[in-house]
Structure 1
């Protein structure tokens, strides 16, 4: 009789996933009608200089347009705070708190925009049951 161990279960699962993936055809992508503009791929901010505390602190109390897949709403930046494990006042590691006038998504990566503020992507997470308070953590150590 063969003994069932964690290693055999994990090995069997990995093998099963590999075998299943080989036999799966690639998903088909529908062609866009002639003259149609294809949907733009999401853009993400790569410039590290845009993720500095002083940049966001200067806009505390300001409203931003927050947009992402199927969602667009206004949010207000209400706090710029320290992270527990980071140096107090760190320019590169901090948390941002936003409030929204209506419930929004649970979480996701969104573009923040406002006049005289280069569009910046942030991963926002709802921190309350009403989904009206959001937090983003910037940690560029």
Structure 2
């Protein structure tokens, strides 16, 4: 599954500009589940402006995570794929937090049935997407 999603994001990345990340804002990053829900809410609403702040380049997120955070700057194809894969997403259960690291189990995909785990890291009181 990771290979499939990675392939989709790599394909889409040919058409997008690189972004170094940034700092996030808002209460959504106060919890790992909040970050996951910000991703799903952006896909549902089409308001991708908050995604950029969900990655911090200094934490070195993986390529898939960077692509999620770059959707607001991406082309229409990337936005379409993002919406298709994350608009039916939801958090499953409680986040597992160990120190400044967290795992959030999710369901996502076109039907909202594919299992995955968002890995996150806490920095300066905010949670950031690292990998999935």
Give your verdict on TM over 0.5.
Answer: no
Instruction: Select the structure with the greater relative contact order (CA < 8 A; seq sep ≥ 6).
Output: 2
Scaled by the length of structure 2, the TM-score of the pair is: 0.33
Larger Rg: 1
Question: As a proportion of its length, which structure holds more helix?
Answer: 2
